[in-house]
Structure 1
Amino acid sequence: MHRYFLDEPIESTIQINSEKAVYHHLVRVRRAKVGTTAEFVDPRQRLVIGKVTGIEGSGATVEVTEELKQSVELPVQVTVIVSPVKNDRTDWFVQKATELGVDRIVLTKMARTVVDWGKQQEKKRTRFEKIALNAAEQAHRLKVPEIVFENYQEAVLEAKDQGLVAWEESAKKGEQAQLVKTAMAMAKGERLAILFGPEGGLSEEEISHLADQGFLPAGLGPRILRAETAPLYALSALSTIWELQAKR
């Protein structure tokens, strides 16, 4: 059953304006008719099954038939702070990070960032938001991750209860436990921020500055990962720790 995200709180009857993307997909793409059912999620993460009871040129009417209780979000709110990467690899990263449960994606330029979108930044953000929405629907999540562009000074001050910075030198020096140690110490509802360097890596100066901001260096295994792969590795590991081997 397809899932749609709504902008307003769900009541017993849902009115979907014909100008909304939800209406376009439900009526134009899926060719919904009276009696068609779908899942709907509101900003409070309330999830329901709704049945189409009327379709007009101005919109569609959906009656709530059942409320569902699901627990599909990561127990800890994970913010990933990343650098833009070349070509369409950021598109791919946004899609996969959404599927893996990321709460917030912060894009920022670092010392060795090579990509500069300039005036295209707002267009890129709109594209990423659409990719995240589609991925959240496909993954049957209860929220769409927020995607923001910030300068580096703002990014490292992101609200968090714990912070990590993925650093390949940590792995080279044999550090293996910081990611697991931090994850296991966190409680449900807390916020974890993880920063990942650009394609050229992070400098020693950046690592030192990040330590001052509460980011602990953490290795991600013995292999060198691409800039867009490392966050997905971390999100997968966190899911394993929090959802597959621990009861929270």
Structure 2
Amino acid sequence: MQRYFLNRLIDDKIILTSDQDIFKHFGKVMRARIGSKAEFVDSNQSVFVGEVDSVSNDIISIKVVSKINTNSELPIEVTIVVSPLKNDRSDWLIQKATELGVNHIIMADMKRTVVDWHKQLAKKQARFEKIAKSAAEQSHRLMIPSIEFVNWQTVCNMKKDTGIVAWEESAKAGEKLAFVTQITDQDLKHLVLVFGPEGGLTTEELEILESNGYIAAGLGPRILRAETAPLYALSAISTLCELS
């Protein structure tokens, strides 16, 4: 069943108008008719099943028929910090990270960042948010991840319970347990994960992060692309926290 996000509370009636993206997708793409059903998530992250009871060219009227008690979110709040990537790789990363349960996506300048994200920032932000919203609906999330563009100093000073920086040199040195040890900490509520750009983080950047409380950790013996490493980490978090 299709899921949609509404930025308001839901009572017993949902009215969609022709100027809304939901109307265009549910009414035009999905061809909603009387009796058609969909799931709707309100601003309190409550999920309701709605059934269409009338349709016109301008309005779709939907009655709420049931509430769904479900939780599809990761048990810990996860923020990933990445460098903007070339071509459409950032789009792909945002889509897949959303499907895997990330809460916040931070785009930051790093020493080896090759993309000038300052150009057309508003356009990029709008596109990324649209991708995240669509992915959150497809994967039946209860929330849409936030997306921000920040400077390096903001990353260093971010509030967190635990901060991990993916550092391939740790794996090369044989380190195996840092990531698992931090993720399985029972007191962990908010985790910040930092990943380098295509050329990796510099030693200086690592040292700055470590001085601000981040822990260097390897992600296994293989070298992962900049867009693959965050997805590997999110998958591992799900395995450790939800499937074990």
Tell me the TM-score normalized by structure 1.
0.95
In 1, distance between residues paired with 2:68 and 2:47?
5
Tell me: CA distance 1:208–1:130, structure 2 relative to 1, closer, same or farther (3 Å): same
State how many pairs are aligned: 244
Q: Distance in 2 between the 1:187 and 1:235 partners?
A: 18
The Cα offsets for residues 145-170 of structure 1, whole Å up to 9 and x where unpaired, read as 11111111112322211110000111
Task: Report the secondary structure of 1:171's partner residue.
Answer: helix
**Map of 2:132 onto structure 1:** 132
CA distance in 2, matches of 1:186, 1:228: 28
Structure 1 segment 24-35 matched on structure 2, within 5 A: 24-35=24-35
Q: Is the counterpart of residue 9 in structure 1 residue 9 in structure 2?
A: yes
Offset, 1:16: 1.8
* Greater shift in the superposed pair: 114-123 or 63-72: 114-123
**Could you tell me which amino acid in structure 2 is paired with residue 198 of structure 1?**
P
Contact 1:165/1:216 (8 A) holds in 2: yes
Q: Which amino acid aligns with 2:55?
A: I
**1:173 aligned partner:** 173
**Cα distance in 2 for residues equivalent to 1:62 and 1:106:** 36
Gapped regions of structure 1 (runs ≥ 5): none
* Structure 2 length-normalised TM: 0.97
How far did 1:31 drift?
A: 1.2
Moved over 4 A (4+): none
- Decide whether the 8 Å contact of 1:76 with 1:186 is kept in 2: no
Preserved contact between residue 102 and residue 234 of structure 2 (Cα < 8 Å): yes
Taking the aligned partners of 1:224 and 1:80, their CA distance within structure 2 comes to 18
* C-alpha distance in structure 1 between counterparts of 2:196 and 2:119, whole Å: 23
Q: Within 5 Å, which residues of 2 pair with 1:84-123? A: 84-123=84-123
Q: How does 1:78-227 map to 2 (within 5 A)?
A: 78-187=78-187, 190-227=189-226
Distance (Å, rounded) in 2 between the aligned partners of 1:186 and 1:131: 32
SS at match of 2:48: strand
Once residues 38 and 187 of structure 2 are traced to their aligned partners in structure 1, the CA distance between those partners, rounded to angstroms, is: 33
The letter for the 2-side match of 1:208 is E
Between the aligned residues of both structures, percent identity stands at 51
Task: Give the secondary structure class of the aligned counterpart of 1:119.
Answer: coil
8 A contact 2:84–2:115 mirrored in 1: yes
Between 148-157 and 196-205, report the one with greater CA deviation: 148-157
